[in-house]
């Protein structure tokens, strides 16, 4: 039930700090060691390439997973949209392992790829919120998100839970492979910092409502931009806004602006920019100047290390690949309030079902 909440989506946004703490408790020992079934680690350790396959928000969480696994396990990873992958299989590596992300564990597009992977006798892992779901039952291995039931059509806590569980698995596998970056990574501390950072964000409801009103109030179009990990989260934030508020929203790589998208930037169009990567921050600042010069209304969400005086939101610093745990929540809150202010049904947007069980 929603309890005292007006909507499931707001309840689920608010639950995220608790979900981070639960994942930490379920998957890490008190001293911070990841607890993953040894057989799964052995299987993953033999992979020469990981193939992430998912849809929608779970696809966006997989993009973050690729970065986490490549950094902490040194195993190359590819990410595929299930509905594309299923009909256009790439040439696979010699020892692939398939990782499916699915909140519901029922997505038909992902299941179709799983069935073909099994037919080819390839190892499969499903990361899902529903322990007894179809995908969990049909895969070789499964890991649960411990996010609790997600009812709102717009996925929120499952996205951040997926990233946290990917981080646990990347650390476990990286340690198993004796990768120094994994051994040195204090993930327990990171999940705790993430939970605290999320709590600060969700506690400022009026602040988010004001930002949504000021930046997205009357708009029919909006843009999210960022580079690297901030690009991944731009795609997710754009999906969140478009699917519930019906504002036409694009998320794109900041460097692609001048290759086309900048033609769409006109007076007062909202451009929400994530700047949490130190290595690319100055380039993205350049893009902010370009859209400001064309009259865009720019909202900058930056991390402490990248912040400038005019930024509207400054986030505490996490491991770079974990910043979506915070930037993602910012996108959720903006989408939520923009939708509420339009008087739309936040939990049940038009034309959409919670789990998509047809291809
Ligand atoms: O249950 P799944 O994670 O497999 O669902 C995938 C997508 O259908 C889902 O993430 C969808 O994009 C959401 N409406 C996004 O908020």
CA of 109 to the centre of ligand 1 (A): 11
**Angle between helix 157-176 and 187-203 (nearest 10):** 170
Q: 133 CB less than 6 Å from ligand 1?
A: no
- 243 Cβ inside 6 Å of ligand 1: yes
CA of 54 to the centre of ligand 1 (A): 9
How many whole angstroms separate alpha carbon 139 and alpha carbon 218? 46
> Cα(313) to centroid of ligand 1, in Å?
27
Q: By percentage, how much of the chain surpasses pLDDT 90?
A: 96
153 C-beta closer than 6 A to ligand 1? yes
Q: What is the ipTM of this complex?
A: 0.99
pLDDT of 275 higher than 90: yes
- Quick check: CB of 332 below 6 Å from ligand 1? no
- Catalytic residue ranges: 354
> What pLDDT is recorded for position 353?
87
Residue 358: pLDDT over 90: no
269 C-alpha to ligand 1 centroid (Å): 28
Which residue pairs, CB below 8 angstroms and at least 24 apart, start in 253-261?
253/225, 253/226, 253/227, 254/225, 254/226, 254/227, 254/230, 254/280, 254/283, 254/284, 254/287, 255/227, 255/283, 255/287, 257/225, 257/287, 257/290, 257/291, 258/290, 261/223
Q: Whose CA is nearest to atom 9 of ligand 1?
A: 56
Q: Is the CB of 58 under 6 A from ligand 1?
A: yes
107 pocket-lining for ligand 1 (C-beta < 6 Å): yes
201-257 pLDDT, tens digit per residue, is: 999 999 999 999 999 998 999 999 999 999 999 999 999 999 999 999 999 999 999
Strands 270-275 and 221-226: parallel
Cβ of 355 below 6 Å from ligand 1: yes
pLDDT score for 355: 85
> Cα–Cα distance between 216 and 218 in angstroms, integer?
6
Helices and strands per DSSP (H, E), number in the chain: 14, 10
- Is residue 134 lining ligand 1, measured as CB closer than 6 Å? no
Across 145-170, average pLDDT = 98
pLDDT tens-digit readout, 115-148? 999 999 999 999 999 999 999 999 999 999 999 9
Instruction: Please report which confidence band the pLDDT of residue 174 belongs to, taking 50, 70 and 90 as the band edges.
Output: very high
Which residue minimizes the CA distance to atom 7 of ligand 1? 56
Ligand 1 atom with the smallest distance to the CA of 356 is: 8
Query: According to the model, what pLDDT value does residue 44 have?
Result: 98
Cα of 102 from ligand 1 centre, angstroms: 7
* Centroid of ligand 1 to alpha carbon of 57 (angstroms): 5
Residue nearest to atom 4 of ligand 1 (CA): 102
pLDDT of residue 359: 86
Which helix (H) or strand (E) covers residue 340, if one does?
Answer: helix 324-341
Query: In sequence order, what are the beta bridge partners of 34?
Result: 28
| pLDDT given at position 269 | 96
């Amino acid at each position: 039930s929603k309890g005292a909440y007006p909507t499931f989506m707001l309840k689920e946004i608010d639950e995220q700090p608790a979900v981070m703490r639960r994942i930490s408790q379920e998957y890490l020992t008190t001293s911070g060691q990841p607890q993953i079934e040894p057989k799964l680690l052995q299987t993953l350790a033999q992979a020469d390439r990981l193939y992430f396959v998912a849809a929608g928000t779970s696809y966006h969480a997989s993009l973050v997973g690729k970065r986490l696994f490549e950094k902490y396990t040194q195993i190359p990873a590819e990410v595929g949209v299930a509905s594309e992958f299923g009909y256009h299989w790439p040439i696979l590596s010699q020892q692939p392992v398939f990782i499916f992300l699915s909140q519901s564990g029922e997505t038909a597009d992902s299941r179709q790829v799983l069935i073909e992977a099994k037919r080819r006798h390839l190892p499969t892992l499903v990361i899902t919120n529903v322990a007894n779901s179809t995908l969990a039952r049909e895969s070789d291995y499964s890991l649960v998100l411990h996010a609790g039931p997600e009812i709102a059509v717009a996925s929120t806590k499952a996205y951040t839970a997926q990233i946290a569980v990917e981080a646990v698995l990347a650390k476990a596998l990286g340690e198993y492979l004796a990768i120094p970056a994994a051994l040195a990574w204090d993930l327990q501390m990171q999940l705790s910092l993430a939970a605290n950072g999320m709590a600060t964000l969700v506690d400022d409801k009026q602040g988010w409502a004001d930002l949504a009103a000021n930046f997205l109030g009357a708009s029919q179009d909006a843009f999210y931009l960022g580079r690297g990990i901030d690009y991944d989260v731009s795609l997710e934030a754009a999906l969140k806004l478009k699917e519930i508020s019906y504002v036409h929203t694009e998320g794109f790589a900041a460097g692609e602006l001048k290759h086309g998208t900048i033609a769409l930037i006109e007076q007062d169009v909202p451009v929400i920019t994530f700047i949490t990567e130190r290595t690319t921050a100055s380039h993205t600042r350049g893009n902010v100047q370009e859209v400001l010069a064309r009259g865009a209304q720019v909202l900058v969400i930056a991390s402490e290390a990248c912040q400038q005086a005019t930024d509207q939101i400054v986030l505490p610093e996490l491991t770079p690949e974990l910043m979506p745990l915070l930037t993602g929540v910012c996108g959720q809150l903006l989408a939520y309030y923009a939708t509420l202010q339009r008087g739309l049904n936040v939990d049940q947007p038009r034309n959409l079902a919670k789990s998509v069980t047809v291809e």
